[in-house]
Structures are given as C-alpha cells and as structure tokens.
Structure 1
Amino acid sequence: MENYSSITSEQNTDLKEQLKPYLQKWWLFLLCVLLLLSIALVYLRYTTEIYKADSSILIKDTRAGGVSELGALGDLGVLGNSFNTVENEIEVLTSRRMMANVVEQLNLRVSYFREGNFKTSEAYGNLPFQLIVANDLRSPKNFKSFSFKAKISSDTIINLVDEENNYSNSVKFGESFYYKGTEVAFVPTLSKIDNKENDTVVTQSRSYPEDVYKVQVASVEDVARKYASLLNVEAAVARGSVINLSIQDPVPAKAADILNQLAIEYNKDATEDKNIVARNTVNFIDERLASVALSLDSVEYRKESFKDSNNLTDIQAETALNLTNNAEYLTREIEARTQLQIATDLNNFIENLDNQELLPANEILSSASINNTIDQYNTLVLQYIRASEVATDLNPVVQDLQAEIQKLRTAIKSSLSNYIRSLETRLNRLNAQGNRISNRISEVPTTERIARGIEREQTIVESIYLFLLQKKEETAISLAVTAPKAKIVDRAWVSNSPVSPKTQIVLGGAVILGLVIPFAFIYLSNLLNDKIENRKDVTKKLPDTSFIGEIPKLSSDESDRINKNDRSVLAESFRILRTNLQFKLSALNMSSDGKTPIIIVTSTVKGEGKTLVSFNLSMTMANSGMNVLLIGGDIRNPQLHRYLSKGSKSLKGVTEYLSSQQYHASELVYASDANENLNIMLSGAIPPNPAELWLSPRVDELMQYGRDNYDVVIIDSAPSMLVTDTLLISERADVTVYVARANYTEKSLLEYTSDTIKANKLHNVAMVLNNVKQANFGYGNKYAYSYGVDKDSAWVKFLKAVKLK
C-alpha cells in the first residue's frame, strides 16, 4: 500500500512538473487566444459569406419508378415507350447548355457589386438600374469580359468610370452606347410615382442611392461554366427518381433563382424533345394524306364513270347475296393491303433518312416488334441531337450513337422487308380464296364484277385515308397535352445561416489554435532547450552533489551587489547560501578545529556569474561580523575590480605576490568600501604563465596568511573547464562552490562537472545556480525570497503605469 501511494505521488509530481512550464506561461495562452479570436472576428466580419440553396424534383416516366399523369391516354397509343434513366437526366441537368439557358433567362452575365470601405459585396435584385447587353455573348471567341463603375447622378444621367483604362463617360438612360466593342444600354428600375388628385398630377421627387456600383459583364459561356461547376445534382435514393439539386453562392436570392429556373429550362427542353417526335409524325401523315386523297378521288371518279357508262344504280343491293361469303376475306384483304401500303411507304421514307430525322411513331403498324424498334430508334436520335450540340462528330459518345442509329435503321429496314413479304404472301392467299369464291358467282355479270373491284379499291383507299386521319388526331392530342417531365417537389430554399464561413467552427478553431500554438511553442522550446533552468536540472545530473543555493535573476534596474542592511531578494538569497554553506562547513568540523575555511568559487565556463557570487557571498559573511578575505584567483580574466572604487584595476595583487618574493600579502590587501570587515586582494596584472604561478610555493603562503588573519577566505577562481588554474589549487580548498547559470549553462556541461567530481579533481563541491527566474525556483515556490519585502503586484504596477493609482 505504501509503495502504491509512493508511485501515485511520484506520478502526480511528474504530471505537475510536466504542466508547470505551461501554467507559468498562462498569460501567453490567454494572449494568443485573444489575438486569434480577434483575427477570427475580423475574418468573419470581412469574409464573403456563402449560402447554399437546395431544391428537389421528381423525374417522371423513368425506369427508376416515375409516375406518368398521361397514363389514361395509354390505350390510344400516343405515349410510346420512351424511358430515360435518372443518371441520364442528371447529366442533362448538369450540362453547360442547360446552365447557359438559365444564365440567359436571368441575365446573369451582368453582375453588380456594391463597394464598401473594406469589403465588396454583390448586389442582386432591387437595383436602381439594369444594364442591357445587345450583343450575343454565346460565342465568346472575340469577346473579353469588362467592368466599370456606375453611379446615378440624375433622373436621366448615369456616370461611368473605368480607372484601369482611364475611361469616364456620362450616358442617358435607355440610350445605347458601345464599350469595348459591345453595345450596351442602361435602363432605370426606379420609377416616378404619379398620384392623381382632383385631375392634377403630383410627381414625387425621386431620390437615388449614393452607392457606387461596379458593373461586370462576361460571356454566357463563361458564366454558365462557372455555375455549372458549382451545381451539385444527385439522386435522393439509390433506386428512386427524385433528384436533389444544390448550389452555393454569396447571394442567397440568386442561388434560389438559378435552381428554380433550371427546373423550368429542363422541362422546356424535355417538352421540346417530346414534341419533335409528334411533329415529325404529323408531317409524315400529312404527306401521306395528300397522296391517298388523290388516289381516293381517282377511284371515286372511275366508279362514277363506270356507273354512268353501264347505267348501274345499286350494285351493292344486287350483288349482296353473292358477296356475303366474300365479306370476311375482303375485310382481311383490306387490312393486309393497308398494312402493306403503310409498310411500303415507311420503307421508302427510311431510304432518304439522315441521323437527325425521326421516324413516325404511334404504332401505325400492327407489328409490335417493329413499333418498339422505331421507338428505340427515335430515342437514340434524340440523344444524338443533344450530344451533337455539345460535342463534335469525333467524340466517342457521338460516334457510338451514330453506330447504334445505323444498326437500328438497318434492323428496321430488314424487319419492314420481312413484314412486306409476309403481307404479300397473305394477300396472295386471300386472292386465291377470293378467286375460288368468284368462280362460284361466275354467273354474276361482268359489269358487276368490275364494279365490285372498283368499290373494293375505293374501300381500301378510303380505309387508309380514315386510318391516317385517326392517327393525325391522336398525334395532335399527344402534342397538345404534353406534360412537364419534371415535377417540382421542393422549390429552392436557402438556410438563414451561411455554409461558409462557419462562425462556430472559425471561433472554435481560433480558440483551439490559440491554445495549440503556445503549447507547441513551449513544448518545442523545452524540447530544443539544452540550457539549465532550475535546480532540478542540476540535481538530476548531479544527484550526489550538495546544492546550497539559488541566485535570482535581476532586472535591469536592480543592483548586482549587496549592501549593509540590505532587504532585497538578492540579499536574502545570499543569506540562505551563507547558511547552507555554514552547514556544509560544520559537517567538515571546521569550527571545532578552529581552522579558517578556504572556499573556492568556480564555474564551468566564462559568464556564469562566479565573480558576482564570490563578492556577494563575501559581503554577506562580512555583514554577519566575520572578517573575510576575498582573493581574485582568476588571473587570466580579472573581474573583481568592478566591486572596488574606480581605478582599482591597476592595483597589484595575486600575480605580483606569486611572482615576486618582495611583496608581503598584507601589502596587497585592500579594504572594501562597502564593508570594513571585507578585504580584497585583486588579481593584479595578467601574467604570461598563470598555470606555473599557481604551482609556486607562495600559494601555500598566501593560503596560510588567510587562515591566520581572517575568519574565512574566499577565492574567485577561473572557470575549471577552460583552464587548469582551479584544479591546481582545488586541493587547498575546504569547500568548492561551483556556480552554474540558468538559461546560459548547457546541460551537457554538467557531465563535465560530474566527471570532474568523480575524478576527485574538485573537493567538497557545492552547487549554486545563478540567474534563476522567480517562477523556476527549486521547489516551485512562487514566493521565492520575497518575505519581508514590500513589492507591488503586477496589477498595482499596471495601475501606477496608467496613473490610476
């Protein structure tokens, strides 16, 4: 149980340590979130909003299950078997040809924009004027889009400006003019209001908007291509015939108008396709009626002439008895001859038929297979006509359709030939049977037989004429009652909220990004940062080495030296350092032996603050009443003179003492101006052989002088990694204060320190971390050394800065 609690405590500690760098930079998270939220709000304010319009239509008479409202006319044979798959209709709806019709009907090739200070928005509907383009822009070969700015100046004048082309003009409403080769004219849409009161006309003054509009004109093809790419058409369900349409545009009303007009244009196109077949059938029947009418007139004239020449009155009454048995065969012969005549005419019609002409339909033949083949042929011809409008003859789809049309035409001709031969065979059988009956009535006068032949021919021609008239009426009914192919299920509607940009997503993304950016920055900074930041970085690398103090980072306006009765954070940190150092000295039994301790202050490299630590540690001990000797042991790069009076850099010191027997140590010791208990021996002149000087026997004399005359000796030594000076005198030290600097000393340099300690090159090492930020003090103590120091909070400092407190 204790082990579990220990593990849990360690995990919590590790989690806190991992979160600590981020919690310390809470203000960075807040600043970044506020900044990105501000950017997001500006983006939402000035970004053009995109709205989505949706509609749905039902395609009738499709294999996917559409329902026809003309089913009641099916028994008349006027509907045929024309079916189209939903996939084909989707291709038609998304075609540029269909969208071009929509663009022309809504005049979308002319766009109007209202310019603001930061944002230009498109204006649609309820405009004070409209631009009419006279030229046909369907063929944009020589047409280039253009734009200019327009503003109404009076009831009749509108001003035009094109800054790019240095063009300006004032034109009248309704008066056409040419701009870049295109004839255009402005038409006002704001009308005067005339009120008649007591036979007087009161004309209200008209106010015009002060807005400046940018008018942009493009070709129909370019605009159609643009909106066709934005249009989304898909089946509502897999096996249904309902199609959903949607389009996105910055102007909601325009998007809705495009979808509604697209359904109208689709119905127009489908109705036109259906009427093409009906009109071609009517034309064919009219041609045949004219020919049959001539034949009928000729037969009737022959009958009249025959009766006149033979003085006949009622041949039918006289021959009724003899022809009773022949009635059945006559009926069948008439039917066969009728079909033979129609089949022959249809076969002749096909001989001169091209790929874009349709065959007569409406089941004019009694052969169901031929009628079905004709319907399939007409369907392919319609598809070929539609494909030819958007593609050339080299297109694979067009070539495939041509091949299918040719194949069906050959099949129809072959079927008609077989059908004609079967009719001829049938007629031959009927004639043979009729001849046998004629033999039974051979006593009938020749005149009666001739008359009957004339009447029979008259009946056949008359039947053909009546049949054609019937089919003409049926086709006319089909042409008159053609219903729209698409039924509108839902008219276009636009949601109140835009689809882009998404306000919640943008703001949420800004908040998330505002948290992620500083998190990633801190994480990468910590990941790439190889500098020491706090005491834990030191203790992890040197777990067996004493850590006796942290020196806070000073601001630019703070002094780096300690004075008497100093209550600053710096002074408190050195008091703690002095106390911890005394504990370490006590562990060495220095006080019981009455031996003056010698303390060496060193570091790994230059710039880590060993001189600052040496002087302030000396001052702290001197302030406690101890007599302190501070020796400038760094004779290669002296820095200790900074803490004495001006001009002290030229004073003699350690170098002169070690190199010459004529100097006594007391002659080179100078009293400090800051405290009478502190004496300083400077480094002196920079020698050419510093390592050899530290091997001099006078080093021991200098140490003994310090032990004899002072309570503690502190040596400001050279960096141990750069030179050997410190290692040469380290065995004379009782304690080695090793200084590292936060955010300066690399963590890898602690490896050198560890190796040096393990090799016993330095004795009784105690680590000190200099320049530590207040937030990084060893145990996470945010109060640091501020006890007893009256210090303004950040909020009070801010109020003082803005002079509110």
Structure 2
Amino acid sequence: MLDIKDFSIFENQVSFDFKGFLIKIGSYWRWFLISLAIALTIAYQVNIRKEKIYGMETMIAIKEESNPLFTSNTSLVFNWGGTSDQVQTIATTLQSRSHNELVVDQLQYYISYLVQGEYNFTDAYGAVPFFVRIDKTKGQLAGQRIGIKFLTENEYEIKIPFENTSVGVIQYDTHTYGNTNVVAGEFVKRYKVGQKVVLPFLNWQLELNENPGMYKGNEYFVQFNDFDGTVSAYKGINVQTNEKAGSIITLSMQGTNKVRLVEYLNATVKMLIKRQLDSKNKFATNTIAFIDSTLIAMESQLKETGNELKSFRKGKNIYDVEDGGTKFSEQILEYDVRKDEINRKIVYYNSLKSYLNSSVNYAKLPAPSVAGIDDPNIVVNVSKLIALSTQRSEMAYAVKSEKIFQEFDIQMEAIKKVLLENIITAKSSLQYDLALVSSKINATEGTIKKLPDDQQELIKIKRKYDLSDNIYNTFLQKRSEADIVKAANLSDIHFIDPAKDVGGGLVGPKTSVNYILALFLGILIPLIAVFFIFFINDAIQNSDDVNKMTKIPLIGVVGVNKEKSNLAVFDKPKSALSESFRAIRSSLQFLYKQQNVDGAKTLMITSSISGEGKTFCSINIATVFALSEKKTVIIGLDLRKPRLATEFNLSNDVGVVNYIIKQKSIQEIVNKTHIPYLDVILSGPIPPNPSEMIISQGMEDLINALKQEYDYIILDTPPVGLVSDALELAQYCDVTLYIVRQNYTKKDMIALLNNRIKRGELNNTSIILNGQENKAKYGTGYGYGYGYGSYDKSYYEEEKPKSWFQKIKDIAKKNNV
C-alpha cells in the first residue's frame, strides 16, 4: 500500500517563480530603457515620414421629384421604384466600377502630379502651376515618374531616367498597354509651354494654370498610372445612410490631397445626378429620337405632295374646281386622320410585341404616347419594364449575386406577360375601330367618284397633303411636349452640403497609436527576452532557489570579490564582504557547539564543480578564524588542480603528497603566511593516483597530527560532483560547507547533493551561497553586510563606485589586453 511519503516528490516540484521573475525583470532595466528608446525612435521616424491623411465628405438627399407637366398624354418619365429603392440603387451605383470609370476619366485622375518632399514624393494635385492635356489615342509612359523643371516662365525641361531599352506605354482611349524602344540612360529635352510633345512614349501639351504663381526653377513630377487600378482605389468611397432620415446619404473619402478629394466627391455626385436624370428622361429621349427620325421622312413626303398640289393648280380656276368638293375633303381628312391614329397604335403594338419577344434590354423602348396610346395599363407597365431593365444594367458591375439578377428577370418576365396580354386586347379593339373607319372612308370615296374629274383629282392630292401635314403637325406637337417634359424634369438627387475644404479634416496618421504600439513593443520584446533567459536558465539565482530545492541549511551569503587578491578579509577587514565571512564563522561555531566538538575543529569545503569559489571561501574563512587569534591551517587537498599556492605566492614543490609518501615531515610541509596565526599546507607535486593517496593511512596520520597543533583545520577539496576525493575526506571533518555560486551552479547539482546527504556520504553539511551580486538581479533573500541601511557607513569601509573608464580598464587588465 502506498504511503503518503511516497508523494513527497511532488512537494519539491518547482513551480514558476513570479517573484523571482519580477525581480529578474528589474535587473534588466537597462534593456527596457534601450528597447523603449529604439522603439520610440522608430515610431517617431515612421510618424514624421508618413503623409497626413485627410477626410472629406459631402451630403446629398434623395427626393422623388414629379414632373409638373406630367399628364396622361405626356407620360415620358419613370421613377426608380420609390425613395427607399433609390437610396439602395444610388449607394450601389456610387461604388460600381462603371460609375467610377466615368468620373475618373472625366477628371483624368490617372495622372499624378507629384513633388519631392523631405522623405518621399507627395501628391501635389491642385498645387502645381500647370496641367497636361494628353492625347488619349496615343501612348503615354506607364508607371514611371517624369521630371519637369521650369527653366524660364515659358520653357521647361523633361527628365526621364531609362534603365532599360524598352518601356511600357498605356493608351487611355482603349486602356491597353504596349511597349516602345528607348535609349537607355537619362532622357533630357526642352519644350515651350503649350508646345505639343510628340514622342513614342509621351504625347501631351503642357499648359499653365490661370494663376500659376512663382514656379521658375522648381521641379515637379508627372506619372501616368493604370486606369483600372485608379478606378479600384476610388471605388472604396464610403457611402452611409442616415438612420434617422433614410433619404440622406453621406459620402466620404480619405486621402493625402484635400483638393483631389473635394473634386472627386463633387464630381461623382454630379455624374450621378446626370446619369439619374438621363435615366429619368429615358422615355422622352427615346421618343424625341423616334419623332426626329419620323419627321425627316414626313418632311420629304409633305414637300412632294405640296409640289404636286402646286402643279395641279397651274392654269386652272382653282376656286371653280374646289367648289363642291370642300366638304368631302374635310370629311375624308377626318376619317384618314382617325385611321392613321389607329394604324400608328397597331404598328406600335406590333413593334412592342416583337421587341418584347426578341430583346432582353428594354431601356430603348419609346413612350406609348408617341403613338397616341394613353391606356394606363400599357403606359405603367412599359415604364416599369424600362425602370427594371435600367436598374439591372446599373447593378451589373457592382453586384455579383445571381439571385438578385434572377429576381429582376422574374419581375420583368411577369410584366412582359401582362403587356403581351394587354397588347392582344388593345389590338382587337383597334381592329374593330379600324374596320368602322375604313367603311366610312369607302362610303365617302364612292360619293367623291360622282364629282367631276378635276374635283376628284384635287381632292385626291389635297387628301394626301392634308394627311401628311396633319401627321407632321401632330409629331411636331408631341416632340415639343417631349422637349418640355425633358426640360422640366428634375433629378431626385440634391446636394445638401457639397464637399469643401474649410480647413482641418486631418484624420491621420495616428501618431499616438504608433507611440502606444512602440511603448508596447518596447516593453514586450525585452520582457520576452528576459522570460526566455529566466525560463532556460537552470542555475541557482538566489537563496530562495536553494531553500526550495533542499532542506540543507543555508548559513551564509558571500558577495562578489571586486579586488584583485582573494585575501578579501585580510586586505579589507571592515568591508561588507569581510562581515559576511564573520557571519559564517559565527554560524560554524554554533554548529561545532551543536555537535559537541571539543579541541581542534575540522572543516571541509567542497562544491559541485570547479569555479564555484571553494578556494576563495577556504582562504577567507581561515582568515577570519586566524584574525580571532586561533591557530588555523589550510590544507590544499585538490591534488589534481592545485590553486592554493598562487594565492599566497608560494611554490607548490612540497606539500601533502610528500608527507603521505614519507618524503617530508609535517614541519617541512607547513608554510607560514603573512597573516598571523594562519599556516598553509600545499598539495605538492601532482601524483598519478590522487584518490589512492586521499584514502591512505598517511592522510589520517596527517589530520591527527595537525589536530595536536591547530585550533581549526580547513580542508580545501576538489569538487564532489566531479571526483570522489571529498567524499573520502568527509570522515575526518566535523562540518562540511558546500559552496553554491549564484548564476553558475546548476539546480540539478542540488538534487545530487540531496541524494548524497540521503545516502550518508556527507555529514553535517551546510550551504554557502557565493558570488551574490545585484540584489534586484538575482533576488537574494539574505543580505549579510548589505542590508543595514544608513548604519553600514559606520561599520564598513565605504567603497567608491568605479567609473565606466575604470571598469573598462579593469576588464582590459583582466583579459591581458
């Protein structure tokens, strides 16, 4: 059965140390400052290089304007299906490709006028002193800036750098591209203002504006852009309807040039008004075109019958001839006019039927009133059919939904069926009327045949003339009606507030957003870097790390030795570093007392790997014992890599090895030092079998002999994590100090130490955290010699901070530069 102790492993699992992470962040404050400085500098450079963005808008209203001259006889207009439908249609039209193509072509916005700004080229439309009038039927240099420099008020120079021997040209009447050959290099040529430029890649005439201002010596640039690309850019016009007033539309655009925006907004509305009015006048326009073509034919016929009547009257007493036939002429004219009206209606119905059965575009249908048809069913349905057909063609470029087109087709098909039924009914009624009129004409013609031949001939000629004249006058009247109706029509679209530059309008760039983003990135980037360092760094950072990973007591924290010599306690006995070793001495004395150690006391100092400060700690712990007038000896037992000799400027020729092999006596291997009460026994020459010497009887004899002479015996041993020498020496020691170096010793080494303690390989072990620096950087919990506040100045020697120059000098000396 599992015991609760079996789960103790989970208690030691290391969770994320937020406190340590925050302290780590504080230690890298310079990174954050540098990162913020760089990010804010980039944001500033971006902001000053960005062109200013302006927003312009115009407001229009949609209101159905009925024609004041509208009657059943002048039904030459149609509506777009009510205001709500119009608003949707107008919004769609304004963003359609076909509409914007017309506006861009009218304004020639595919031509860019530029000037060189401080950082980039800027749009100078409306600010340059000239404009170019291009020949659309000929090619223009595509997509490359053309430099223009005014040498005098009436002469300018063209500069174009050609990198290749072939350049692209665009022809704006067909919107097609081509290529033409040029000479590589810079093309330079002078022209007079107003002179036609005729080149394979350039065809224009440069003209000055009305008030050009001062422009001599200035340089400008012209660029011809892709037509479709320009249209696509302006299709993005923002169209918004007013929630409170559904018939109000606000158009807005954003760009770098206010003049260009204002002109485009007003031009697009004017183009919309024109197109809407043209559509509204479709009946009238179609009718006028139909009447004009009919009048041309009637003029010829009327002239012919007039000449015939003139010829007949020559040499005759016209009054005698006309006497007796006048009443018949008037009567038959009345019947002929009626018959012509019926025939015109039948012809219109036949034409309409054929048109409905053979065509899909009904926008060109003439008004029924042109044939004298006033049947409201016919008039209304033809009007609806033209309206739907026009709307469908308007949406063809802007709407891609097949479902919408299918709905239009269904509606138009329904109207067609109704119209065809109406045509059948109307024609049957007209056929009956035609038969009645024809019978009356036949009866009258029979009576006329009883008159003299001259009277019959005159009535015949006058009959043709009067009919032609009556028809001609009727068509003239209807044309006049159509002109009046067309002239009286008003567009349903009205300006409420035309676009105008009244100052302001600046909407960007959002400099504050860039600075906020820079601030965010300036903090985030070093934060991620610190997090990465913190996450991957598996070295001991502070005392909290030690306490979390082991129950072995931490009896001292030693700072960084910033001096050249490792004899820190002796050289500066009042320093904070010296006090930290005195604190360790006090802890050791407590440990010895706790262990009931009498007489000579032994201390072994070891660590996990090399470089953690064993020798440094050994020397200074021995020094604090010696300064308290206790006879102390340090034994250098790192037989593989001895370092103790160099610290005291001694020769390592004689030492422990010589004693163990019985070459020397204790007196011969002991070295006196310049520190009172402190002696040193070096390791001696490096032996081939250091481990065997450590476990030999000679080592035991040496320790026993030294206990007779000294109060404290300090063993400076090799790393326990690399070799087993220190484990063999543990049997001679009362206390073991395990050195852990900040930001150097790996956390895994603490786990190995725990295992050695558990197995009993090391006894009475305590830990010293060495190399502590920057409390913020590593988050130490102990502060021997660091946390006394303002009192420390009276206890410790005050160390002046080194200048940057001195730090660089020390680094250079350390690296022998």
Range class of TM-score, shorter chain: 0.7 to 0.9
Q: Is the 8 A contact 1:292 1:465 kept in 2?
A: yes
Report the counterpart of residue 738 of structure 1 in structure 2: 738
Is 1:507 paired with 2:515? yes
Report the counterpart of residue 481 of structure 2 in structure 1: 474
Distance 1:188 1:286, change over 3 A: closer
Distance 1:402 1:178, change over 3 A: farther
* Cα drift, residue 178 of structure 1: 4.0
Q: 53, 57, 81: which one pairs with 1:54?
A: 57
Report the counterpart of residue 89 of structure 1 in structure 2: 90
Distance 1:86 1:758, change over 3 A: same
Report the counterpart of residue 538 of structure 1 in structure 2: 546
Is 1:369 paired with 2:377? yes
SS in 1 for 2:554: strand
Distance 1:557 1:171, change over 3 A: farther
Q: Compare 716-725 and 774-783 and name the one that shifted more.
A: 774-783
Query: How many Å separate the matches in 2 of 1:484 and 1:621?
Result: 108
Q: Is the 8 A contact 2:612 2:744 kept in 1?
A: yes
SS in 2 for 1:631: strand
* Cα drift, residue 286 of structure 1: 3.8
Q: Compare 736-745 and 342-351 and name the one that shifted more.
A: 342-351
Gapped regions of structure 1 (runs ≥ 5): 1-13, 61-65, 193-205, 324-329
Query: How many Å separate the matches in 2 of 1:250 and 1:753?
Result: 70
Is 1:338 paired with 2:341? yes
Q: How does 1:129-140 map to 2 (within 5 A)?
A: 129-136=129-136
Q: Is the 8 A contact 2:43 2:515 kept in 1?
A: yes
Report the counterpart of residue 100 of structure 1 in structure 2: 101
SS in 2 for 1:748: helix
- Alpha-carbon RMSD across the aligned residues, in angstroms, is 4.8
Is 1:689 paired with 2:695? no
Distance 1:230 1:735, change over 3 A: same
Is 1:661 paired with 2:667? no
SS in 2 for 1:73: coil
Q: Is the 8 A contact 1:50 1:498 kept in 2?
A: yes
* Cα drift, residue 640 of structure 1: 1.6
SS in 2 for 1:227: helix
Is 1:551 paired with 2:558? yes
- Paired residue type of 1:136: K
* Cα drift, residue 641 of structure 1: 2.0
Report the counterpart of residue 174 of structure 1 in structure 2: 194
Is 1:605 paired with 2:609? yes
Q: Deviations over 1:368-410 (max 9, x none)?
A: 232233224434564677689999xxx9999999999899779
* Cα drift, residue 423 of structure 1: 1.5
Query: How many Å separate the matches in 1 of 2:583 and 2:500?
Result: 77
Q: Deviations over 1:515-538 (max 9, x none)?
A: 333333333332222111111111
Query: How many Å separate the matches in 2 of 1:219 and 1:500?
Result: 25
Q: Is the 8 A contact 1:99 1:224 kept in 2?
A: no
* Cα drift, residue 251 of structure 1: 1.8
Q: Deviations over 1:302-332 (max 9, x none)?
A: 999999558438859xx9xxx9xxxxxx99x
Is 1:124 paired with 2:86? no
Q: Deviations over 1:422-463 (max 9, x none)?
A: 22135557889x89xx99xx9999889x99999999999887
TM-score (norm 1): 0.79
Q: 644, 647, 671: which one pairs with 1:643?
A: 647
SS in 2 for 1:657: helix
SS in 1 for 2:743: coil
Query: How many Å separate the matches in 2 of 1:558 and 1:619?
Result: 13
Distance 1:443 1:430, change over 3 A: closer
The one of the two structures with greater contact order (alpha-carbon pairs below 8 A, sep at least 6) is 2
Q: Deviations over 1:146-181 (max 9, x none)?
A: 213333232233333334542233333222334552
Distance 1:702 1:532, change over 3 A: same
SS in 1 for 2:557: strand
- Paired residue type of 2:685: A
TM-score (norm 2): 0.78
* Cα drift, residue 297 of structure 1: 10
* Cα drift, residue 481 of structure 1: 2.7
Q: Is the 8 A contact 2:132 2:204 kept in 1?
A: yes
* Cα drift, residue 730 of structure 1: 0.6
SS in 2 for 1:479: helix
Report the counterpart of residue 48 of structure 2 in structure 1: 45
Report the counterpart of residue 261 of structure 1 in structure 2: 267
Query: How many Å separate the matches in 1 of 2:405 and 2:198?
Result: 40
Query: How many Å separate the matches in 1 of 2:37 and 2:230?
Result: 43
Query: How many Å separate the matches in 1 of 2:565 and 2:494?
Result: 84
Query: How many Å separate the matches in 2 of 1:748 and 1:89?
Result: 75
SS in 2 for 1:146: coil
Report the counterpart of residue 4 of structure 1 in structure 2: none
Query: How many Å separate the matches in 2 of 1:512 and 1:154?
Result: 53
Distance 1:211 1:699, change over 3 A: farther
Q: Deviations over 1:665-699 (max 9, x none)?
A: 221111224x1322111122222222222221112
Q: Deviations over 1:16-37 (max 9, x none)?
A: 6664333444454444334322
Q: Is the 8 A contact 2:607 2:720 kept in 1?
A: yes
SS in 1 for 2:347: helix
- Paired residue type of 1:53: M
Q: Deviations over 1:689-735 (max 9, x none)?
A: 22222221112111112211111000111111211111111121101
SS in 1 for 2:431: helix
Query: How many Å separate the matches in 1 of 2:210 and 2:326?
Result: 82
Query: How many Å separate the matches in 1 of 2:38 and 2:125?
Result: 35
Report the counterpart of residue 496 of structure 1 in structure 2: 504
* Cα drift, residue 290 of structure 1: 6.3
Q: Is the 8 A contact 1:653 1:681 kept in 2?
A: yes
Query: How many Å separate the matches in 1 of 2:665 and 2:27?
Result: 54
* Cα drift, residue 779 of structure 1: 2.8
Q: Is the 8 A contact 2:142 2:226 kept in 1?
A: no
SS in 1 for 2:230: helix
Q: Is the 8 A contact 1:339 1:366 kept in 2?
A: no
Q: How does 1:279-428 map to 2 (within 5 A)?
A: 279-288=285-294, 311-312=323-324, 315=327, 338-345=341-348, 347-348=350-351, 358-361=364-367, 363-364=369-370, 365-379=373-387, 382=390, 415-428=422-435
Q: Is the 8 A contact 1:356 1:385 kept in 2?
A: no
- Paired residue type of 2:710: Y
Report the counterpart of residue 233 of structure 2 in structure 1: 227
Q: Is the 8 A contact 2:574 2:797 kept in 1?
A: no
Distance 1:107 1:793, change over 3 A: farther
Query: How many Å separate the matches in 2 of 1:777 and 1:479?
Result: 89
- Paired residue type of 1:771: G
- Paired residue type of 2:603: I
Is 1:73 paired with 2:70? yes
Distance 1:149 1:443, change over 3 A: closer
- Paired residue type of 2:144: F
- Paired residue type of 1:247: M
Report the counterpart of residue 9 of structure 1 in structure 2: none
Report the counterpart of residue 717 of structure 2 in structure 1: 717
Report the counterpart of residue 705 of structure 2 in structure 1: 705
Distance 1:119 1:469, change over 3 A: closer
Query: How many Å separate the matches in 2 of 1:717 and 1:112?
Result: 83
Query: How many Å separate the matches in 1 of 2:262 and 2:562?
Result: 65
Distance 1:43 1:390, change over 3 A: closer
Q: Deviations over 1:570-603 (max 9, x none)?
A: 222222222222222222233xx3x211000000
Is 1:271 paired with 2:277? yes
Q: Compare 242-251 and 96-105 and name the one that shifted more.
A: 96-105
Is 1:527 paired with 2:531? no
Distance 1:512 1:74, change over 3 A: farther
- Paired residue type of 2:233: Y
Report the counterpart of residue 810 of structure 2 in structure 1: none
- Paired residue type of 1:54: E
